[in-house]
Amino acid sequence: MSSTTITYREAVREGLREALRADPRTFLMGEDVGHYGGCFAVSKGLLAEFGGERIRDTPLSEATFVGAGIGAALGGVRPIVEIMTSNFSLLALDQIVNTAATLCHMSGGQFPVPLVIRIATGVGRQLAAQHSHSFEGWYAHVPGMRIVTPATVDDARGMLAPALASPDPVLIFEAISLYNMEGELTPGAASGDLDHARVMRPGRSLTMVTYSASLWRGLEAATTLASEGIEAEVIDLRTLRPLDTATILASVQRTHRLLVVDEGWRSGGISAEILARVAEQGFYDLDAPPARVCTEEVPIPYPRHLEEAALPNAARIVLAARELAGHAR
Amino acid sequence: MSAATVITRERALYLLGEMLRIRQFEDRCAQLYGEGRIRGFLHLYNGEEAVAVGAMQALEPGDAVVSTYRDHGHALARGLGMNPVMAELYGRRTGCSRGRGGSMHLFDAARRFYGGNGIVGGGLPLAVGLALAEKYRGTQALCACFFGEGAVAEGAFHESMNLAALWHLPVLFLCENNLYAMGTALALSEAQTEVHRKAAAYGMPGESVDGMDVLAVEAATRRAAARARAGEGPMLLEFRTYRFRGHSMFDAQLYRDKAEVEEWQKHGPIIGFTARMKTAGLLTEDDYQRLLATAIAEVEASVKFSEASPWEPVEDLLRYVCAEPEPA
């Protein structure tokens, strides 16, 4: 069978289309998802295909349309709520953290919240400091939710179905910088699982943990490193909560070196959590202090060169990896 | 208005009995709190019983209810057993939330009681969504959303009123206006203190109701429910009421005069209803005493039940963070 080339945007849309076709209880709601076609054109065409009951434009009311998603999920339907950007999700933070993530536990298990929230995240369009941040690591701090970060077109399409099948809230963070990326859709690929990280490139020199758009920066760096004889084993986390620690530890057992690449900030970020877990559980497998390349601790600036400099770009990853690999065994 | 409402003796006994159950339950709660048997925040509903009892009469079993952190009255009036409610305050495994929520977080899936919410205004979006689910599925059910007048200042109130009206959702916005948001008087926090008038901004009907009159509350809620079930959308009811006790058990009540409290107590929901029903010849003092004794006995039984109930084992600490399959 031949593969199909598709953009990440089209892959997300295909996942949405499949979900809407598969279950009449499923509907999409959010700002400009209908008539506008989605801020990033993800849901373009879906209004015409599925109608206004199932593709619902909402007012600019993040707290309430997310809360309404929670209520609707409790009420027996399967809403997919879209939040335009990671930054805007903060307007709904109360509903996400204080309600969606707590109801199941506070009610003694009576009210799990089977809600899916799709959030566009990260840099990509020179949108400056109120439209470019990456808060998925923050959300991964909170028990009671699942945080997934598709990086490939297969995951962009395939993670939605298992997210909808989950009885608990799932936040899907779609990378803004990947929407235009083309990839090969694996024909007949099983529904993406939400539990496991994936080794995207094997290597013996060091373990490079990435997720979301950083996967591609990491793979680019790995190609450069390979030309220098450094073989990075690149892992795509795919899910930030629950974190697949076993896959990371297994890789570190093979490579004895750990580098984490994270589009979030360094302080208190998911990269810190990964380093801590490896220190706790894989300390004696390490031949060198673990390292990380994160976004610089600055609100993302507008001009392209500063935005690029703030990111964990391939050049910075290569430098960090060289230093890590240079440590005497 | 409702003085002329014709009700049966049986109905009068029922409504009074329900209000007395809540009152006795909470008076006992205050005592138990003083003894340190129940902890956490304890927000008592004394004085507001007519709202919960009256409003619940208009609801069907299939309707959803969203409450606030002052939720004991709503829970009991909705039909949650007094035993599991008291046990929840005790933090016991037999509590209606397995002891994990406490006073502010009473839940019951069987009665579609979606909880006490500790975030002021936090329940409104939830209620909009519950109503959206009913409308989407084409049922006749609605969602009754209780909140205090303090919640009206939250952005979630505006957003929720707008969305519910925009999508014609079957939500009953039931505002319990007890005049104080914790210790801040309404006039110190709202430019428009006639809460029901805010409905007009959303093209939604709003009505002010005597929240001390259980029959008036019931009648108004029935009208709002009938509209909602007929697909005519949400409605805002402002129940003018008063809490006789402090905001919580930590409240020294420096913000209001004792005379004001005493004046409201004279017009309390239980005292007022009892007097009216006696005058109407529907109730006798013996009836009142019998209902009171029944309520006290039920409360005492719930205390015994709770004291005898087990704690959740510490090994189960991490359960229910996520949904788990039913045990085989």
Structure tokens at A75: 């009420």
Nearest CA in chain B to A54: B136
d(CA B298, CA B296): 5
- Name the residue among B214, B262, B167 with its Cα closest to residue B52: B214
Residue given tokens 């995951």 in the structure block: A155
| A residues 2-41 lying closer than 8 A (beta carbon) to B | 25, 27
Q: State the nearest Cα–Cα gap between B313 and chain A, in angstroms.
A: 13
Using a CB-CB cut-off of 8 Å, the residues of chain A touching B118 are: 98
Cis previous bond, A242, omega within 30: yes
Rounded CA separation A262/A290 (Å): 14
Contact between B125 and A66 (Cβ < 8 Å): yes
User: Cβ separation of A99 and B136 shorter than 8 Å?
Assistant: no
* B255: amino acid identity, one letter: Y
User: Chains A and B: how many Cβ contacts under 8 Å?
Assistant: 150
Asked whether residue A259 carries a pLDDT value surpassing 50, the answer given is: yes
Residue A124 banded pLDDT, cuts 50, 70, 90: confident
Per-residue pLDDT reduced to its tens digit, B109-142: 999 999 999 999 999 999 999 999 999 999 999 9
* Range B57-83 average pLDDT: 98
Q: What confidence tier does A318 reach under pLDDT thresholds 50, 70, 90? A: very high
Which residues face A261 on adjacent strands?
A: A293
Q: Please, what is the Cα angle at A53 between A52 and A56, to 5 degrees?
A: 65
Domain A4-185 has CATH 3.40.50.970: yes
Q: How confident is the model at residue B166 (pLDDT cuts 50, 70, 90)?
A: very high
3-state helix, strand, coil in chain B (%, to 5): 50, 10, 40
Whether pLDDT at A329 is above 80 = no
β-pairing verdict for A170-175 and B206-210: unpaired
* Range B33-38 average pLDDT: 95
**Residue with the two structure tokens 């709601």:** A29
CATH 3.40.50.970 residue ranges of chain A are: 4-185
Residue environment code for B152-175, b if the CB has 16+ CB neighbours within 10 A, otherwise e: bbbebbbbbbbbbbebebbbbbbb
User: Which part of chain A has CATH 3.40.50.920?
Assistant: 198-325
Write the CA distances from A89 to A118, A214, A223, B93, integer angstroms.
10, 21, 35, 35
Percent of chain A residues past pLDDT 70, beyond the cut: 98
Spatial distance between the Cα atoms of B148 and B70, rounded to a whole number of angstroms: 9
Three-class DSSP category at B102: coil
Report whether A180 contacts A8 (CB < 8 A): yes
Q: Are B111 and B141 in contact (CB under 8 A)?
A: no
Tell whether ipTM is more than 0.90.
yes
What percentage of residues in chain A have a pLDDT greater than 90?
Answer: 93
A167 has a pLDDT exceeding 60:
yes
Q: What is the pTM of this model?
A: 0.95
Q: Among this protein's residues, is A62 annotated catalytic?
A: yes
> What's the CA gap between B104 and A106, in Å, rounded?
10
A278: confidence class by pLDDT, cuts 50, 70, 90: very high
Give the chain A residue whose CA is nearest to the CA of B62: A75
CA angle B274, B278, B281 (to 5 degrees): 145
Q: How far is CA A93 from the centre of its chain?
A: 17
**CA-CA distance, A233 to A251, in Å (whole number)?**
8
Q: Which two tokens stand for residue B182?
A: 């914790």
Q: Is there a contact between B320 and A70 if contact means CB atoms under 8 Å apart?
A: no
Mean pLDDT along residues B171-177: 98
Domain B2-305 CATH superfamily: Thiamin diphosphate (ThDP)-binding fold, Pyr/PP domains (3.40.50.970)
Average pLDDT over residues A210-219: 98
Q: Is the pLDDT of residue A29 over 70?
A: yes
Contact check, Cβ <8 Å, B162/A59: yes
Catalytic residue, candidates A62, A82, A136, A307: A62
Which 8-state DSSP code applies to residue B148? E
Q: Does B138 touch chain A (CB under 8 A)?
A: no
Percent of chain B with pLDDT over 90: 94
Give the chain A residue whose CA is nearest to the CA of B105.
A106
Contacts of A242 (CB under 8 A, 6+ apart): A146, A195
What mean pLDDT, rounded, does chain A reach?
95
Q: Where are the domains of chain B?
A: 2-305
Closest residue in B to A78 (Cα–Cα): B133
Helix B214-229 and helix B269-279, axial crossing angle in degrees, nearest 10: 100
Is the Cβ of B117 closer than 8 Å to some Cβ of chain A?
Answer: yes
> Do residue A73 and residue B129 have CB atoms under 8 angstroms apart?
yes
Task: Kindly report which listed range (A186-190, A261-265, B81-85, B246-250) carries the lowest average pLDDT score.
Answer: A186-190
- Tokens 């004279």 label which residue? B266
CATH number, span A198-325 = 3.40.50.920
Instruction: Express each pLDDT in A169-199 by its tens digit.
Output: 999 999 999 999 999 998 877 667 899 999 9
Residues of B in contact with A75 (CB under 8 A): 64, 129-134, 137
Active site residue A174: no
Question: Exactly one of A14, A31, A82, A131 is catalytic; which is it?
Answer: A131
pLDDT digits (tens, 9 = 90+) for B249-268: 888 899 999 999 999 999 99
Q: Is B238 helix (H, G, I), strand (E, B) or coil?
A: strand
Residue with tokens 């093979």: A254
Tens digits of residue pLDDT in B265-276: 999 999 999 999
Q: Residue by residue, what is the 3-state secondary structure of chain A?
A: CCCEEEEHHHHHHHHHHHHHHHCCCEEEEECCCCCCCCCCCCCCCHHHHHCCCCEEECCCCHHHHHHHHHHHHHCCCEEEEEECCCCHHHHHHHHHHHHHCCHHHHCCCCCCCCCEEEEEECCCCCCHHHCCCCCHHHHCCCCCCEEECCCCHHHHHHCHHHHHHCCCCEEEEEEHHHCCCEEEECCCCCCCCCCCCEEEECCCCEEEEECCCHHHHHHHHHHHHHHCCCCEEEEECCEEECCCHHHHHHHHHHHCCEEEEEEEECCCCHHHHHHHHHHHHCHHHCCCCCEEEEECCCCCCCCHHHHHHHCCCHHHHHHHHHHHHCCCC
